[in-house]
Amino acid sequence: MLEVAELPVLYLDNHLLVINKPSGLRSQGDRSGAPTVLSLGKALIKERFNKPGNVYLGLVHRLDAPVSGVMVLARTSKAAARLMQQFRERTVEKVYLALVEGELEGSGTWEDFIAPARDHMRLVPEDHPFGKRAVLHWQALMTRNGLTLMRLVPETGRKHQIRVQLAFRGYPILGDRRYRARRWLAPGQMALHAWKLALTHPTRRERMQWTAPVPSFWDEAFRVRVDRLLAYLEASGPEGIR
């Protein structure tokens, strides 16, 4: 069970708490009563600032439980409202990384329509009554050990969007049991990571950006130090990570 000390903090001020969410941790509670981003975040603030009574922490966006990476929470209701407006207006920049099964090269944009189907999502025709448009920009960075490291920028924010758009093209994310991955990881783990996030600070109006290192299990799966590889690709300029 995760403890407060195991919640990696990327940034903290009077208005924001930014963390690197571990894979397997839920954003908010369910019937199990297990620790969540919200419960651990509140406990961290209470402990760090010796605050009595209840602590406010606003959930302004979510990551699926198996997904790791940058997650921003609001420490005041004013900050929460302003951050949620940025997410609604799509001015928040989000970059994901994934290890997918199979070999893929190049880059491009996928535009699909997604609709719910029991306990998962699926691609549907454009005229489907419940279909919602989903746009994903992708770049294949490197292939190794039967996997491809991908950079992914969702233009829209549909439920399970990245997972669905990859899986239905034959490239399921490593460890994604729900979307037919053939290679599994430990329970609760999946190789999808919210790598970078940029937004405008809710009070200072300053543009801010955070990057979160990938989980350690990626190195073993990909047989390379992924964070070192990313640093090298970024340093190589336009031909590296665009």
Q: Which residues form the catalytic set?
A: 64
| 154 closest CA partner among 87, 217, 73 | 87
Taking the CB of residue 171, how many other CB atoms lie within 10 A of it?
20
At 189, list the tokens: 């783990």
> Phi/psi of residue 183, each to 5°?
-110, 120
Provide the pairing of β-strand 68-74 with 107-117.
Answer: unpaired
Cβ 215 vs Cβ 67: under 8 Å: no
Please give the single-letter amino acid code of residue 30. Answer: D
58 forms beta bridges with: 74
Q: Report the C-alpha gap between 227 and 37 in whole angstroms.
A: 24
Task: Go through the chain and tell me how many residues it has.
Answer: 242
